[in-house]
């Protein structure tokens, strides 16, 4: 019996750093198990920050940072955390990391801080982060947890970036602040002879709902996923 356990352990330890299982930890949340479109978590910030690409980009980086490092921290101390207070411990770790992000933004990217500070604070309540801690980091090794966090973070990031792309494009006629429609001639004195009329719906949260709905539709059509 004892030899069997030892054997098993050795198999596990020799698992390559990028084995198939570990690759799937990163890959699954990108599409098949996406936190926003499949698990429908983190919708609030997907609506709030996505009017423009630039703040969305900063938000994505902040969420990936928080989710990876909180997964790592919780995984490292998973055997020490008392079960009865685990949720509040997770929250404390998340809140600390979020505050760190906010302080760093305030010091080195003040413009972004002014624009995003409210939403960065709300990462604390982003269910994706909490969900990964509770569902994964509490029961898995640190390296796996980092990969899992990275996967979920990236899954979240590409969806909100996609939403922001369409909202900024149609809502302000720009991408990263670059006026796309003006550049291709949508001006009063350009060859089209008309100014681009910004779509006001896209700058309101309602616009994000529409785009999110369309993305989910396309994705589920492709993957064949159905709710049970």
Partner 1 sequence: MRQSNLYVILFSAILTIVLGGLLAATSVGLGPIQAKSVELDTKGQILAAVMEVPEGADVLALYDKVIKSEVLNYKGETVTTDADGNKVVAEKVEIGKQFKKPAEDRLYPIFKFYGEEATDEIKSYILPVYGNGLWDNIWGYIALNTKGTEIEGAVFAHAGETPGLGARITSEEVQSRFAGKELYNEQGEFVSVEMLKGENNPPSKLDEHHVDGMSGATLTGNGVTDMLRNYFKYYQPYFNKKEGATAAL
Half-sphere exposure of 10 (CA within 13 A, CB side): 6
Helix (H) or strand (E) holding 217: helix 205-223
Q: How many residues bind partner 1 (CB under 8 A)?
A: 31
The window from 13-21, 22-30, 96-104, 156-164 that contacts partner 1 (CB under 8 A) reads: 96-104
Using rule CB under 8 A, residue 103 touches partner 1? yes
Q: What is the SS3 assignment for 4?
A: helix
Question: Is 224 one of the binding residues for partner 1 (CB under 8 A)?
Answer: no
Four-residue CA torsion sign, 108, 125, 40, 150? positive
| DSSP secondary structure of 103-172 | HHHHHH-HHHHHHHHHHHHGGGG-HHHHHHHHHTGGGS-HHHHHHHHHHHHHHHHHHHHHHHHHHHHHHH
Choices 7-15, 74-82, 138-146, 213-221; region in contact with partner 1 by CB under 8 A: 74-82
Choosing from 96, 125, 187, 219, the residue that interacts with partner 1 (CB under 8 A) is 96
Q: Decide whether 55 or 151 has the Cβ nearer to partner 1.
A: 55
Piece of the chain touching partner 1 by CB under 8 A; list 2-10, 106-114, 136-144, 220-228: 106-114
- Crossing angle for the helix pair 110-121 and 53-76, to the nearest 10 degrees: 60
Q: Is 108 in the site for partner 1 (CB under 8 A)?
A: yes
Contacts to partner 1 by CB under 8 A: 51-52, 80-85, 88-89, 92-93, 96, 99-100, 103-104, 106-108, 110-111, 113-114, 118, 171-172, 198, 200, 203-204
């Amino acid at each position: 019996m004892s030899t069997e356990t030892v054997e098993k352990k050795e198999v596990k330890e020799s698992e390559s750093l990028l084995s198939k299982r570990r690759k799937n930890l990163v890959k699954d949340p990108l599409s098949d198990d996406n936190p926003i479109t499949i698990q429908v978590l983190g919708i609030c910030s997907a609506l709030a920050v996505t009017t423009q690409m630039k703040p969305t980009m900063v938000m994505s980086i902040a969420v990936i940072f928080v989710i990876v490092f909180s997964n790592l921290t919780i995984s490292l101390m998973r055997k020490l955390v008392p079960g009865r207070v685990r949720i509040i411990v997770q929250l404390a770790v998340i809140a600390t990391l979020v505050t760190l992000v906010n302080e760093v933004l305030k010091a080195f990217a003040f413009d972004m801080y002014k624009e995003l500070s409210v939403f960065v604070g709300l990462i604390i309540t982003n269910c994706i982060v909490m969900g990964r801690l509770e569902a994964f980091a509490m029961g898995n090794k640190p390296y796996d947890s980092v990969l899992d966090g990275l996967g979920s973070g990236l899954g979240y990031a590409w969806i909100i970036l996609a939403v922001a792309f369409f909202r900024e494009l149609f809502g302000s006629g720009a991408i990263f602040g670059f006026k796309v429609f003006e550049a291709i001639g949508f001006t009063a004195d350009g060859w089209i002879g008309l100014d681009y009329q910004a779509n006001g719906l896209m700058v309101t949260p309602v616009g994000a709902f529409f785009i999110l709905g369309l993305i989910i539709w396309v994705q589920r059509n492709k993957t064949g996923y159905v709710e049970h």
